């Protein structure tokens, strides 16, 4: 099946991620009650089985062009779906907005209107049930794929990912972050793959800048007879850091700032001005978090960033 306009089709093994890390009596897997705050447990990623041929002019972002408008023009112009580069491929794993799969729990259905069908498939010799949904292309944040890095590597399937071991990581271009992985086949030798992350629709993933324990701690001097002790060099002798006064329960994220980890192609007509490794300040309400490849990042569009300090934190990442 293929949808020609605006939507990709993704397949997922489940709608919710409900397994916990705990097991009960006789090793029975304990599950989370996903009906409470279901948006926190919904699956936000899936494998693409079909991509659109064209993107329509669905409005995305308004640009204020000044008031009063020139020659009675409107005050705003609009970015649309057509301004997004069509960079997703079939077979990619894509991360998207949680509403894409979120079912209408109140309506008594575990499916939403984007559900297409379910199908049993053979995967590594096992039967797996997959559920197919259509996801609007403008709701996709990033795609992940494994490209072949040597001639003996076979076509990559996502069930192989758990067998991969990391070799090294590097950054060739400012808009791509690539990592090398491999696994050994007794017959064909070492299969090497390049992990490529592509940000979609001008989205950026920003790693939170965390405080340190030293920054939230107040040094405490050693006291004897009501006076602080001194070191041989004349400085005040301090107690071990474990005995310092802590101003907070734990280090927190610095407000509306962080390190750019992944950045991609800007919307058509916009300029790209950030690179992986930059330290950035961004707008309020742009600090929405997403769990991406096991790590928490802020996700935002490049236009939500208003301050940049050039850094080299991820020069080799």
Cα–Cα distance for residue pair 220/242, rounded to 1 Å: 10
Q: What per-residue confidence (pLDDT) applies to 317? A: 37
Q: What per-residue confidence (pLDDT) applies to 119? A: 92
Cα–Cα distance for residue pair 223/238, rounded to 1 Å: 9
Domains of the chain: 7-143 (no CATH), 202-211+252-317 (2.30.33.40)
First to last CA, the chain: 38
**227-272: per-residue pLDDT in tens?**
999 999 989 999 998 899 999 999 999 999 999 999 999 998 888 8
Residues 6+ apart with CB under 8 A from 94: 8, 10, 45, 46, 47, 48, 88, 135, 140, 141, 142, 143, 144, 200
The DSSP 8-state label assigned to residue 221 in this structure reads B
Q: What per-residue confidence (pLDDT) applies to 316? A: 38
Kind plus residue range of the DSSP H or E element containing 141: strand 140-148
pLDDT grade, residue 5 (50/70/90)? confident
**221-232: per-residue pLDDT in tens?**
999 888 999 999
| Residues 210-222, mean pLDDT to the nearest whole number | 91
Q: What per-residue confidence (pLDDT) applies to 315? A: 44
Which stretch of 175-179, 277-281, 306-310 has the lowest confidence by average pLDDT? 175-179
**90-128: per-residue pLDDT in tens?**
999 999 998 899 887 666 667 788 899 999 999 888 999
The residue with greater pLDDT, 62 or 10, is: 10
Give me the helices (H) in the chain, please: none
Greatest Cα pair distance in the chain: 83
Q: What per-residue confidence (pLDDT) applies to 104? A: 74
Which stretch of 140-154, 171-185, 186-200 has the lowest confidence by average pLDDT? 171-185
* Whether residue 31 has pLDDT greater than 80: no
The DSSP 8-state label assigned to residue 278 in this structure reads -
Percent of the chain with pLDDT over 70: 88
| Residues 146-157, mean pLDDT to the nearest whole number | 87
**32-87: per-residue pLDDT in tens?**
777 777 778 889 999 999 999 888 888 887 776 666 655 666 667 788 899 999 99
* Whether residue 18 has pLDDT greater than 70: yes
Residues 6+ apart with CB under 8 A from 164: 146, 181, 182, 183, 193
Q: What per-residue confidence (pLDDT) applies to 72? A: 62
């Amino acid at each position: 099946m293929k949808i020609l306009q605006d939507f990709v089709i993704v397949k997922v093994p489940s709608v919710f991620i409900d397994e916990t890390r705990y097991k009960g009596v006789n090793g029975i897997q304990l599950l989370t009650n996903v009906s409470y705050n279901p948006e926190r447990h919904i699956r936000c990623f899936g494998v693409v089985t079909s991509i659109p041929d064209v993107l329509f002019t669905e409005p995305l972002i308004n640009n204020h062009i000044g008031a009063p408008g020139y020659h009675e023009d409107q005050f705003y112009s609009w970015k649309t779906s057509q301004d997004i580069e069509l960079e997703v491929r079939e077979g990619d794993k894509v991360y998207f907005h949680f509403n894409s799969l979120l079912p209408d729990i109140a309506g008594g259905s575990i499916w939403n209107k984007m559900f297409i069908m379910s199908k049993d498939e053979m995967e590594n010799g096992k039967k797996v049930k997959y559920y197919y949904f259509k996801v609007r292309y403008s709701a996709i944040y990033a795609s992940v794929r494994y490209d072949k890095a040597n001639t003996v590597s076979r076509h990559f399937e996502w069930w192989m990912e758990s067998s991969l071991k990391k070799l090294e990581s590097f950054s060739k271009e400012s808009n791509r972050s690539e990592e090398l992985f491999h696994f050994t086949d007794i017959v064909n030798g070492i299969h090497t793959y390049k992990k490529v992350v592509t940000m979609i629709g001008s989205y950026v993933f920003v790693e939170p800048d965390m405080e340190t324990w030293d920054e939230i701690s107040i040094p405490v001097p050693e006291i004897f007879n009501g006076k602080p002790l001194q070191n041989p060099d004349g400085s005040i002798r301090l107690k071990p850091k474990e005995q310092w006064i802590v101003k907070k329960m734990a280090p927190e994220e610095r407000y509306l700032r962080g390190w750019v980890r992944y950045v991609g192609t800007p919307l058509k007509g916009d300029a790209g001005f950030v690179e992986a490794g930059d330290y950035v300040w961004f707008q309020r309400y742009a600090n929405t978090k997403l769990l991406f490849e096991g790590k928490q990042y802020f996700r935002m569009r490049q236009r939500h960033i208003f301050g940049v300090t050039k850094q080299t934190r991820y020069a080799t990442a």
